[in-house]
Structure 1
Amino acid sequence: TDYMYVMRCTQEEGGFSRGELARYGNIELSPSSGVLNYGQGLFEGLKAYRRADGPGYTLFRPEENARRMQHGAGRMCMPSPSVEQFVHAVKQTVLANKRWVPPQGKGALYLRPLLIGSGAILGLAPAPEYTFMIYAAPVGTYFKEGMAAINLLVEEEIHRAMPGGTGGVKTISNYAPVLKAQMDARSKGFADVLYLDSVHKRYVEEASSCNLFVVKGGAVATPATAGTILPGVTRRSIIELARDSGYQVEERLVSIDDLISADEVFCTGTAVGVTPVSTITYQGTRVRVQDRRRHAVEEAVHDSDVDPDGPGGGQERMDGCG
C-alpha cells in the first residue's frame, strides 16, 4: 500500500519514542544487524475491515496483538512499543491506507507489524538499536480453497517447536523451518501441515500458520499453550465465545487419537479466520471428519425425534462457531 509506519529506539533510550508515517519502500540495514545474523525479530498480523453500518473501519482486538508482541519481545531480549503506541500505530497505518481497505464483505486490509533488531552487532548479543514498523496489504482468503473445508497432513519427522524454545512467541525464526514440510504437503494437494509434539510425537500442536480445535461428544478441545504453541488471538476469542455460549471448552493435550476420532475439526487464526477441516491424513491413511458431527446429530435426532434445526439447538450455534 502507500504508507508504512516506522518507529525506532536504541538500548540507551530504553523505549520507543515518537513514530511517523513514511512512503512504503525498502529499508536499509547493516549486514551485521541483529535480525539478519541472529534472527532477532518478531512479527504480528491483524486485519482492518470496512464497516457495514457506515463510514469507518473496524479492528479485531489489536491490543491483544500488542500484548503478545510485548511478551515475545521479553523472550527475545528486545524493547517493545507500549499497547497504546502499538494501537495508535495500527490506526495511523489504516487511515493512511484507507483507499486499500476492500469493500465490506470482500476482504480486509492485512496489517503486518514488525519488530526487528536493526542495529549492528557482530558478537552474539542483543542489537543496540531496534525498529518497529507496520506495513499493509489488501487480502482475501488465506487458503486457495477459500472458506471451504481443507485437507491437512500430519507431519511426523519435522517439528515446528520444542520445549524451552520459542514456539510460544511469534518470532520470525519459527517460520522458515516449516517451509519444507508445508511445500511438500502442498505439492501433494494438502492445504497445510499439522505438527506433533517433539517429545512423544503423539500430541497435536498446531498447523504452520494456525491453531487447531477438535469437537467430540459436545466438548470443544484445543491444545494447551505450554510454550510450544502460539497463543492465537482468534484462538482465545473462540474459547471465550464458546464458553460464554455454554459449551464445555478444554485446553489440554490433544492426542493424534483424539484428532482422528473427532466429530469435527477446525483451524483458527488471523489469516485463516475459522476454517473447517475436511480430512486428516496420518501415516498414509486419510480420515474424513467433516461430516461426522452431522451424522451424529442425525442419529441423535432420529433416536429422540427432535428437530435438529429447531429452536434451542446447541448444534446450530456450533455450526456458526466451527
Structure 2
Amino acid sequence: MTINLDWENLGFNYMELPYRYEAHYKDGAWDEGGLVQGNQLSLNIGSPALHYGQSAFEGLKAYRTKSGAIQLFRPDQNAARLADSAAKLLMPAVAVDQFLDAVRQVVAANAEYVPPYGTGATLYLRPLLLGVGPNIGVAPAKEYLFTVFAMPVGAYYKGGMVPTKFMVAETFDRAAHFGTGQSKVGGNYAASLQAGKYAHEHGYGDAIYLDPIEHRYIEEVGSANFFGITKDGSKFVTPKSPSILPSITRRSLMTLAQTACGLEAEETRIPIDGLGDLSEAGACGTAAVITPIQSITYQGNVHQFGDGGIGPVTQKLYDTLVGIQNGDVEGPAGWIMTVQA
C-alpha cells in the first residue's frame, strides 16, 4: 500500500491511522492487550481521569533509516518514565516488556505511515494511561486503560531547526516543587496553556517558566527542557529542579555533550539574570528535538544569544542526535531498538 502524503510539509497534527494498541487493568492485573481499530475510547462518566486528572502519557518516535529499516530511540526510557508517572498518581505501572511490545505492534501495523528517510518527518507515538471506571470520589481508580496510537508528524515548532524567540512567563507558574512537575501528566500541560497562548499572541515560540518559589531560576521552555552552553565553551548546563520533567532527549544530549563535544555536562540552577554567562541556549524534547533559542525577553529586556543564529555546539548536538535516530551515526549501546514491519 502506498500512502500519498506530503511528507516534507507535515505539521505536528493529529491523524487517525488504521491501528492502535489497547490493554485494560482490572482485578489487580493487566490483560494481554492487542491491536484494535478506531479512534474512540469508551469511558465510564465517573472515570477519575476525567474528573481528577488521573492520567499520564508519553511521547516517542519511530524513524526510517536510509536502508528503509524502522527504529525507535530509547523506548525503554519512555517505559520507565511512564512507570514513574504512574507511581506518582497511584496508577499500576505498565510492565516494560508490555510497553515495548505495544509500541512495536503499533509501529509494525502502521509501517506504511513511517515517513521516508530524509523528509525530516517521523512517526510520533503517544502511549496514554488513564484511570477509568465508576469512581466519583477523590480516590485512585479501580480500573485502568492503556493505549498507544500513532501519527506521522513534522516539526513541533514551525520551521524546525530555526532560531526562535522566547519570553519569560513572569506571571505564570507551570508546576510546584514536589508536586507533579517531574511527571508526564495531563494537568501540567493544562497549566501551561495560558502562558503559551500569551506568548504566541505576542510573537514568541513559547513561554519560559521560572521556579515557582523565587521566580529566579529557569525551569522549562513551554513543553520542552532548557539547556545552555557556557561562554567559555566548557560546559553543557541544564536546569536542576524537582518540578521539571526529566526529558529523555535532554538526558541523551548530556551524554552526547561529553562524548561528541568534549564538554562537561551539569544539571544546575540557572538564574534568569545569568543569561550573559551562556553563549548558546536551546529547547529540547522528543517533539521539538532541538530548537535553538535566538533570544529571551524578560522584564522588557531582550537577551540575544550570539548573533541570533544556530551556535556551533547546538548544531553539532543536533546533527549527532538526529544522526543516531535516523541510523546514520552509531549511538551508545542500547539506544536503538529496531522494529520488524
TM-score by structure 2 length?
A: 0.84
Matched with 1:268 is 284
Deviation at 1:319, TM superposition (A): 3.4
Tell whether 2:84 aligns with 1:96: no
**Aligned pair partner of 1:8 in 21, 24, 38:** 24
Q: What is the distance in 2 between the residues matched to 1:150 and 1:195?
A: 16
Deviation at 1:24, TM superposition (A): 2.6
Q: What is the distance in 2 between the residues matched to 1:231 and 1:149?
A: 23
Matched with 1:241 is 256
Q: What is the distance in 2 between the residues matched to 1:17 and 1:275?
A: 40
Q: Specify the SS of the correspondent of 2:204.
A: coil
**Aligned pair partner of 2:237 in 190, 196, 221:** 221
**Aligned pair partner of 2:79 in 66, 76, 95:** 66
Matched with 1:310 is none
Matched with 1:132 is 146
Contact 2:85-2:185 at 8 Å conserved across structures: yes
| Structure with more contact order per residue of length (Cα contacts < 8 Å, sep ≥ 6) | 2
Tell whether 2:316 aligns with 1:320: yes
Q: Which has the larger radius of gyration?
A: 1
Cα shift readout 1:56-104 (whole Å, capped 9, x = no counterpart): 2010100000000001111100002111110110010001111111111
Contact 2:294-2:309 at 8 Å conserved across structures: no
Deviation at 1:259, TM superposition (A): 2.6
Amino acid at match of 1:239: M
Matched with 1:207 is 221
Number of corresponding residues: 298
Residues 200-209 or 240-249, more deviating:
240-249
Deviation at 1:292, TM superposition (A): 7.3
Q: What is the distance in 1 between the residues matched to 2:115 and 2:49?
A: 32
Matched with 2:323 is none
Q: Identity over the aligned pairs, expressed in percent? A: 41
Q: What is the distance in 2 between the residues matched to 1:24 and 1:223?
A: 40
Deviation at 1:244, TM superposition (A): 2.2
Amino acid at match of 2:304: R
The aligned runs of 1:42-57 (5 Å cut-off) are: 42-52=56-66, 54-57=67-70
TM-score by structure 1 length?
A: 0.89
Contact 2:68-2:117 at 8 Å conserved across structures: no
Matched with 1:80 is 93
Q: Specify the SS of the correspondent of 1:175.
A: helix
Deviation at 1:318, TM superposition (A): 5.5
Q: What is the distance in 2 between the residues matched to 1:149 and 1:123?
A: 47
Contact 2:47-2:134 at 8 Å conserved across structures: yes
Deviation at 1:227, TM superposition (A): 2.2
Q: Specify the SS of the correspondent of 2:30.
A: coil
Alpha-carbon spacing, 1:190–1:119, altered in 2? closer, same or farther (3 Å): same
Q: What is the distance in 2 between the residues matched to 1:51 and 1:174?
A: 34
Alpha-carbon spacing, 1:292–1:272, altered in 2? closer, same or farther (3 Å): closer
Contact 1:264-1:292 at 8 Å conserved across structures: no
Q: Specify the SS of the correspondent of 1:151.
A: strand
Amino acid at match of 2:227: F
Deviation at 1:40, TM superposition (A): 0.1
Q: What is the distance in 1 between the residues matched to 2:176 and 2:187?
A: 13
Amino acid at match of 1:203: Y
**Aligned pair partner of 1:278 in 285, 294, 298:** 294
Deviation at 1:115, TM superposition (A): 0.3
- Alpha-carbon RMSD: 1.6
Q: What is the distance in 2 between the residues matched to 1:167 and 1:28?
A: 28
Deviation at 1:144, TM superposition (A): 1.2
List structure 1 segments (4+ residues) > 6 angstroms apart after TM superposition: none
Q: What is the distance in 1 between the residues matched to 2:184 and 2:63?
A: 23
